[in-house]
Homo-oligomer: A and B are copies of this chain.
Amino acid sequence: MISFKKISHDDISQMEKVTRLKLINGLSGFKGANLIGTINRNGIENLAVFNSVVHIGSNPPFMGFIMRPLTVARHTYENIKETGWYTINHINKDMYRQAHQTSGNYKRDISEFDISGLHTTHSDTCSAPFVEESRIRIGMKFEEEHPIEANGTMLIVGSVEEVWLSKDYIEGDGYLDIEKAGSVAISGLDGYYEAQRLDKLSYVRVDPSKARRAD
């Protein structure tokens, strides 16, 4: 028997800052662990962990992520706006500790590739660097941005221009087996998880008497 406790909006306001940060960051559930790679016009590369990558659409293919407020320098944002390109790279079990090192606040002339020991790899079309150690790498073109009034964060939406991966991760029906690729999940700010598939459920077909008409 679980004893449920209510934590109100006021309780949250009165929490100590770090306690609140850790608790609230856990509420959204498991999140993808991704590295976003960019380059500025002077050729300085940047790499940063993001746990807010979200699916926007498949046809055409779009993905989004949330940027923290721009009240301090955000190299990822500045580089995306300068060049129009960025990469999303799945973090896997073999390099999540190195990947996490990129979450520090480094000077702009320092590349987090050097800090973390991760390596760059490039494609002919995407100007932003990919992460060689990542097994699922996505080349993205900036599409639109939406400032969130509530707190100054921003939704960045981009178009999937190219995907680099092994065919072995793609099942017969198109399903991408990210467990096979070793991809990890994040909870909160810094909890890293491996995942095992419980089930692949099928599309829910509704009894016609209960179904909504396609209107």
- Which A residues fall within an 8 A CB radius of B? 2-9, 12-13, 15-34, 51-64, 66, 72-73, 88, 90, 93, 96-97, 100-101, 103-108, 110, 115, 123, 135-138, 143-144, 146, 148-151, 153, 155, 157, 159-167, 170, 173-179, 183-185, 187-206, 210-212, 214-215
Contact = CB atoms under 8 A, between A and B. Distances in A.
Nearest to A183: B29
Contacts of A13: 59-60
Nearest to A110: B210
Which residue, of A4, A52, A110, has the highest number of chain B Cβ atoms within 10 A? Answer: A4
What number of copies of this chain does the assembly contain? Answer: 2
B107 A166 contact: no
Q: Kindly list the 3 A-B residue pairs having the minimum CB-CB distance in the complex, ordered from nearest.
A: A29-B32, A26-B176, A19-B174
A204 B166 contact: no
